[in-house]
Amino acid sequence: MRRRLALPLAAAALALPAALIPATSASAEVADKDQVLSSFTQSGSGSYDAWNSARADQGSWAEYGFDWSTDYCSYSPDSPGGFPFADSCARHDFGYRNYKAMGTFEANKARLDSAFLGDMKRVCSGYDSEQKASCDNYADLYYSAVSTWGS
């Protein structure tokens, strides 16, 4: 008699944690998405490199439902003065679009704009002093535009 009762109880006990996993996993996934998004949108080359690597392998990040779409530098040239800012603009779009989708854009906008400036300044750091000064001027102009009018 004990054996007949023990088997259904054991099966029920094993099924209970399995029934709870989806609810726990779903809430953990949202928190994890916010962490991953944050890690991809910080100032600094490490964050940029992590985002760029993930961008090259978007399928591996599909579970997060990130919006990878971009119009690059929108209505401005992607390479003003010949300086390639397209990837900087793409990461900026990534941050804007995904934080808007999560409803936390305003709380993150200033940081996203600052990371954008850092990305462009890293592009500029590869040029000699005269070209770097010109590139930095374009970077400052683009930053000023997004920090004032970006939405």
Assess whether 92 carries a catalytic annotation: yes
Token readout for 26 is: 């779903």
Q: How far is CA 73 from the centre of its chain?
A: 17
* Burial class of residue 57 (count of CB atoms within 10 Å of its CB; 0-12, 13-18, 19+): exposed
CA–CA distance from 55 to each of 60, 114, 125, 138, 142 (Å)? Answer: 9, 20, 23, 25, 23
Given the residues 33, 91, 92, 109, the one annotated as active site: 92
What is the phi/psi pair of residue 112, to 5°?
A: -65, -40
Q: How far apart (Å, rounded) are the C-alpha atoms in residues 135 and 82?
A: 9
Catalytic residues: 92
